[in-house]
Structure 1
Amino acid sequence: MFGEHELKTQFIKFGDKKIHLVEESESLVRYRRDEVEKIIKSNGEKLKVLPAPATGYGVRLLMVKFKEPLIVSPHDSLAGFIEAPIEIDVKVGGLSVDHLLVGREKYALYGALEAGVICRYHVSPFYLKEPDSIGAAKLIVSNPSPEWKSLERVIIPIWKTSMYYEGTKAYYPLLIVTMKNHNPEVNNTGRAPKEGLNAVGEGLSLPNFLMRW
């Protein structure tokens, strides 16, 4: 699914979505997806189907609530995976010709009613092994403090984040959550969560995010 596709008659499927390419002539290809329809003048360029962060209507943060809170002992850490919503960008060259939402959009308020921000929202178990989902993120939760710590959710900076993919799976960069005090700090490292993945973007670290609420 993810990656490059020839501009020729074919179906490209992912989840409940389907792109239909139809060759109109040697150089014209009709692009169809639900109500979207476009004509592409081909010069040998390939169609790129790439994962994108779940920014929805322009949000900058993704809130993932754990189905079961994590409890980490002092001076210890825990590594695992969470499911994460993604979007899909379809490009020819550097031009975006279509943008798709995957699954149901959910949003939540993060912070106080008067000063909070709207986040993309998702509920996920914490997996020790990679989940069988189209979107995932690897999470390292570190507790360098002398106290036991509990974590019920993670707030992930996703605006202009790099993404990674292989086959039918997309990944956010490696995330590191440090619980030094009462405010966990989240680092979107920009780095691939594992070897052998294809990158979308420069792989740069984003500014750390302090979870004050």
Structure 2
Amino acid sequence: MGGLGKTALAQSIYTHYGMTNDGMFQMKLLVCVSEEFDLKIIIQKLIESATGKKPESFLQIDSLQCELRKQIDGKKYLLVMDDVWNEKKEEWLHLKRLLMGGAKGSRILITTRSEQVAKTFDSTATYSLQTLDPSNSWLLFQKMTGLEGRSNNKKTKLDQMNSNLMQIGKEILSRLKGVPLVIRTIGGLLKDNKSERFWLSFKD
């Protein structure tokens, strides 16, 4: 399902300090594929990711393929392909042939909602994201709403308001089913208005 954090996880891996040019990989490539698996568009995005420049739109696919090979051949690369929907084996094999020139140890990480896509791409390992457990859901909700517990024994008006909001927040959270994107979105909305009336109205 959407909103579990597939893209966020892939981007976190992509931007991790250990993945930089002086780290595990000589080159990093990131492309959002989406529903239409158009080989020419994907190659254009790969070249742009590799060079930082958009290739000329008039170039034919043969020229683009040559340019892509020039950029990656002999280099150890990490390629992240985000939001892949294509289940047609032949289209993947065509792209795979263009990527085979990378050095040993190159890796391709794809995100998808479909197990069939993972099979189509000959994945060596798959990881299925799950919804957050109640404890982590609450931690994320607190972070997004700015709710913080107070350790003082002496109760203040602010402590009481926070306590009331926490109780309402837990009731709201129980309906969000542990989906990170939903928690982040609703938490951000509630953060902008800390009145009990608003939170109760939202809950209802």
| TM-score w.r.t. length of structure 2 | 0.23
- Name the structure where helix makes up a greater proportion of residues: 2
| TM-score w.r.t. length of structure 1 | 0.22
> Whose Rg is larger?
2
